[in-house]
Amino acid sequence: MDGALRQDFINIVKDFTSMASIYLSDDVEKAIRTIAEEETFPMAKTMYDCILKDLSLAAELHRPICQDTGVIQYFADVGTGFPYMDDIGDVLRTAAIAATLETPLRPNVVEPLGEHNTGNNAGYGAPYIEYDLVPNSTDLRLRMYMAGGGCSLPGRSKVLMPLEGVEGVKNFVYRTIVDWGVNACPPLCIGIGLGTCAATSAMLSKKALLRPIGTHSEYPEVAKLEDEIRDGLNSIGIAPLGFGGSRSVLSVNIEAAAHHPATLGVGITTGCWATRRGEIVIHKDLSYDIISHTRSMEA
| Element (DSSP H or E) covering residue 117 | none
> Given the complex with other proteins, which of 207 and 276 has the nearer CB atom?
276
**With CB under 8 A, what is the number of residues at the site for other proteins?**
49
| Using rule CB under 8 A, residue 191 touches other proteins | no
Of 267, 273, 282, 297, the one binding other proteins (CB under 8 A) is 273
DSSP string, 242-277: TS--S--EEEEEEEE----TT-EEEEEEEE-TT--E
Of 80, 138, 235, 294, the one binding other proteins (CB under 8 A) is 235
Of 88, 97, 185, 213, the one binding other proteins (CB under 8 A) is 185
In angstroms, give the least distance from the CB of 34 to other proteins: 17
| Using rule CB under 8 A, residue 174 touches other proteins | yes
Is the CB of residue 210 less than 8 Å from the CB of residue 276?
A: no
| Using rule CB under 8 A, residue 67 touches other proteins | yes
Judge residue 8's burial from the number of C-beta atoms within 10 Å of its C-beta, 0-12 exposed, 13-18 middle, 19 or more buried.
middle
Stretch that binds other proteins, among 2-10, 125-133, 218-226, 231-239 (CB under 8 A): 231-239
Amino acid identity at 86? D
Q: Contacts with other proteins in 1-40 (CB under 8 A)?
A: none
In angstroms, give the least distance from the CB of 21 to other proteins: 9
- With a CB cutoff of 8 Å and minimum separation 6, the contacts of 42 are none
Partners of residue 159 on adjacent β-strands: 265
User: What are the strands, taking DSSP E only, across 22-162?
Assistant: 71-79, 128-134, 140-147, 156-160
The values of phi and psi at residue 133, to 5°, are -95, 140
| Using rule CB under 8 A, residue 212 touches other proteins | no
Is the CB of residue 30 less than 8 Å from the CB of residue 222?
A: no
Of 126, 274, 280, 282, the one binding other proteins (CB under 8 A) is 274
In angstroms, give the least distance from the CB of 13 to other proteins: 20
Nearest to 209 by CA among 250, 242, 176: 250
Stretch that binds other proteins, among 52-60, 73-81, 85-93, 194-202 (CB under 8 A): 52-60
DSSP conformational letter for 181: G
Positions in the binding site for other proteins (CB under 8 A):
43, 46-47, 50-51, 53-54, 57-58, 61, 63-69, 104-108, 110, 117, 119, 149-150, 153, 170-171, 174-175, 178, 182-183, 185, 232, 235-238, 240-244, 272-274
